[in-house]
């Protein structure tokens, strides 16, 4: 969601702030702003819309200063406009803030009545700025004022704070919204995302909840909310600047789709043992776990949830254990009956999704063992789970997830393979799964090589207003994910159903104006699915088919077919999803939408 950047050092702050904001554009935002402190005065410039609007406003009279903060806002309290954009000021105090202050209305009323404060915006953030300003009048330091204010706050925050009268200091605090410190010899960089500091430093410190960082050029101190000093290990960022650039592609989304043969090889590297027919995951190295757990409980949101839904089919077949799958946003507010011997699988690309993080903490409160499938190294989920595996998909800049979904599904296969072999899975079946995974990068590449054909199909169907995806068994979650991808980036209404459920209602929608995308590759339910295909054709539905290479019989139903390689039942759903990623991308391009930053969406949803 919103992006935060801060800098204190010897260089001019403005270029660092703008560069950092541009690198975090993918997170989703509706306005942007910066504040720079120079010679005891803070200059704030902010604009509605894209960062380019802010850059134009700054070009003629760029504010000076070696200390500054910046922000891209995704509206929560107050409409997207310049007045509600960050940074916000209250007298000598200037702040940027991610998160939600849940008791802001009560605090605002008290500030008005007791301290005669006047508010210019509709935001909860401005309330926090005034609260810090009031506390600063009676405290000895900026960090003491920030601590006193935050102790009155209910909600989540990642916040950076400047004080006109303390020009050599930048204060940061975190609860439930990510913040990191980038460390160099003569500067400190602060950001909500590691991509913002790549190229400036490769040394970072991740703030934990209820911690405050006091930063001066090249130095920092961290205290907790009891004002006690905290020590943190510095981490090295392995990412390179080229990983967050388009590398000649028109959009990050296409780049990330096309990277999948490599990212699949990366997630598998060193984790497969063909001879033993198993995988090797350090987070599951204790053999006792194979017998201790009696079920899986999978938690995710959006695309991660659909990866978990597909993982449900795969894990149950590989391990013989039942799998429950939950939306994190629902799980955290239910009264779930949780088996104490369950293994909680936490699925997240960013590792910062608020609902997923809250669900993880609820599982830990109940003493449930947790295992993370996480892409972002050093993220909150990665640091809080009991064990886990990094997906090694690399930075995913486009809001719509593609390569991370593929990696999450493969993660389920690796978990299932290791636990399954530790329980009852025959070695021959384990070896077959390993071979299927080893073949996957080349098979995915063969589908990507069909991109011109898929682009032509996208152009043909791009003006349809309604699309239905149908799949059966493991291809039902694929249908759900494919429909989500289409509506996310093309804004076409799309739904997905298990094809066996079509006759129980959705069949009423079928007419020549409805595009039906039907997954019908060769598998154990091929004939059953074929009868569903007949039902669609009989009612005049427009058909786009996904089938197995060499299946000429599909041409009797439609001339519009995308073929995927013949493959293992365990990897077939991954292969079936790849052309749907390309199809959604090319439809969005044809319709002229903002492919990488679709309207109303954010990459990492760190508020409820």
Tokens of 284: 């599951």
457: helix, strand or coil: helix
Strands 229-230 and 187-191: unpaired
Helix segments in 230-302, DSSP class H: 252-258, 260-268, 289-292
Rounded Cα–Cα distance for residues 215 and 222 (Å): 9
Which entry of 2, 108, 215, 255 is annotated as an active-site residue?
A: 2
Residues ≥6 apart with Cβ < 8 Å to 469: 479, 480, 482, 483, 494, 495, 496, 497, 516, 517, 518, 519, 580
Residue 294, CA distances (Å) to 156, 221, 290, 386, 423 in order: 35, 45, 9, 17, 11
Say if residue 87 is preceded by a cis peptide, omega within 30 of 0: yes
Q: What b/e readout covers 221-255, taking b as 16+ CB neighbours within 10 angstroms? A: ebbeeeeeeeeeeebebebeeeebeeeeeebbbbb
Which entry of 50, 108, 255, 603 is annotated as an active-site residue?
A: 603
Q: What b/e readout covers 325-336, taking b as 16+ CB neighbours within 10 angstroms? A: bbbbbebbeeeb
Using N-to-C axis directions, what is the helix angle for 51-60 and 13-23, rounded to 10°?
160
Residue with tokens 């290479």: 549
In DSSP notation, 354-371 reads HHHHHHHHHHHHTT-EEE
Rounded Cα–Cα distance for residues 590 and 592 (Å): 5
Residue 566, CA distances (Å) to 379, 442, 451 in order: 37, 12, 19
Q: Is the CA virtual torsion 119, 121, 127, 133 positive or negative?
A: negative
Under a CB-based contact definition with an 8 Å cutoff, are residues 220 and 213 in contact? yes
Strands 67-73 and 88-90: unpaired
In the residue annotation, 2 being an active-site residue is answered as yes
Active site residues: 2, 603
């Amino acid at each position: 969601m919103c992006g935060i950047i801060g800098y204190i050092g010897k260089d001019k702050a403005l270029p660092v702030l703008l560069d950092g904001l541009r690198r975090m554009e993918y997170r989703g935002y509706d306005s942007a702003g910066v504040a720079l402190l120079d010679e005891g005065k803070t200059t704030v410039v902010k604009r509605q819309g894209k960062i380019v609007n802010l850059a134009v406003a700054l070009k003629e009279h760029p504010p000076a200063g070696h200390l500054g903060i910046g922000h891209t806002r995704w509206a929560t309290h107050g409409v997207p406009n310049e007045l509600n954009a960050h940074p916000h000021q209250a007298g000598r105090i200037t702040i940027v803030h991610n998160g939600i202050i849940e008791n802001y209305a009560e605090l605002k009323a008290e500030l008005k009545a007791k301290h005669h404060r006047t508010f210019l915006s509709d935001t909860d953030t401005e309330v926090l700025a005034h609260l810090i300003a009031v506390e600063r009048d009676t405290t000895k330091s900026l960090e003491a004022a920030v601590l006193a204010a935050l102790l009155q706050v209910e909600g989540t925050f990642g916040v950076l704070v400047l004080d006109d009268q303390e020009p050599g200091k930048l204060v940061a605090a975190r609860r439930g919204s990510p913040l990191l410190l980038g460390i160099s010899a003569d500067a400190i960089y602060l950001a909500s995302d590691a991509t913002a500091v790549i190229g400036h430093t490769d040394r970072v410190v991740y703030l934990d909840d209820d911690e405050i960082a006091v930063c001066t050029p090249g130095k920092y101190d961290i205290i907790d909310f009891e004002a006690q000093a905290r020590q943190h290990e510095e981490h090295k960022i392995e990412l390179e600047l080229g990983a967050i650039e388009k590398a000649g592609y028109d959009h990050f989304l296409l780049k990330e789709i096309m990277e999948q043969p490599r990212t699949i090889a990366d997630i598998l590297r060193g984790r497969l043992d063909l001879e033993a027919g198993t995988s090797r995951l350090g987070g599951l190295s204790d053999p006792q776990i194979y017998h201790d757990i009696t079920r899986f409980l999978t938690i995710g949101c959006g695309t991660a949830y659909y990866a978990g839904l597909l993982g449900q089919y795969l894990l149950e077949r590989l391990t013989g254990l039942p799998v429950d799958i939950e939306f994190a946003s629902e799980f955290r507010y239910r009264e779930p009956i949780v088996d104490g011997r369950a293994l909680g699988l936490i699925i997240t690309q960013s590792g910062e999704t608020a609902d997923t993080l809250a669900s993880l903490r609820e599982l830990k409160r109940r003493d449930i063992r947790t295992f993370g499938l996480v892409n972002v190294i050093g993220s909150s989920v990665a640091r809080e789970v009991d064990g886990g595996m990094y997906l090694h998909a690399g930075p995913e800049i486009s809001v719509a997830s593609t390569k991370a979904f593929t990696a999450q599904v493969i993660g389920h296969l690796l978990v299932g393979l290791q636990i399954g072999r530790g329980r009852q899975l025959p070695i021959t079946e384990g070896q077959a799964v390993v071979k299927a995974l080893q073949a996957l990068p080349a098979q995915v590449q063969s589908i990507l090589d069909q991109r011109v054909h898929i682009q032509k199909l996208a152009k043909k169907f791009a003006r349809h207003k309604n699309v239905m995806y149908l799949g059966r068994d493991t291809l039902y979650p694929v249908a759900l994910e494919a429909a989500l991808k289409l509506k996310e980036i093309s804004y076409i209404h799309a739904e997905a159903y298990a094809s066996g459920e079509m006759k129980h209602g959705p069949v009423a929608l079928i007419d020549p104006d409805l595009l039906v995308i039907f997954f019908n590759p060769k598998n154990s339910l091929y004939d059953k699915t074929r009868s569903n295909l007949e039902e669609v054709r009989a009612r005049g539905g427009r058909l786009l088919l996904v089938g197995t290479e060499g299946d000429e019989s599909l041409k009797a139903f439609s001339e519009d077919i995308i073929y995927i390689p013949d493959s293992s039942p365990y990897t077939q759903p991954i292969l079936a999803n790849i052309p749907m990623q390309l199809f959604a991308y090319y439809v969005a391009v044809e319709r002229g939408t903002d492919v990488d930053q679709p309207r109303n969406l954010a990459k990492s949803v760190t508020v409820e």
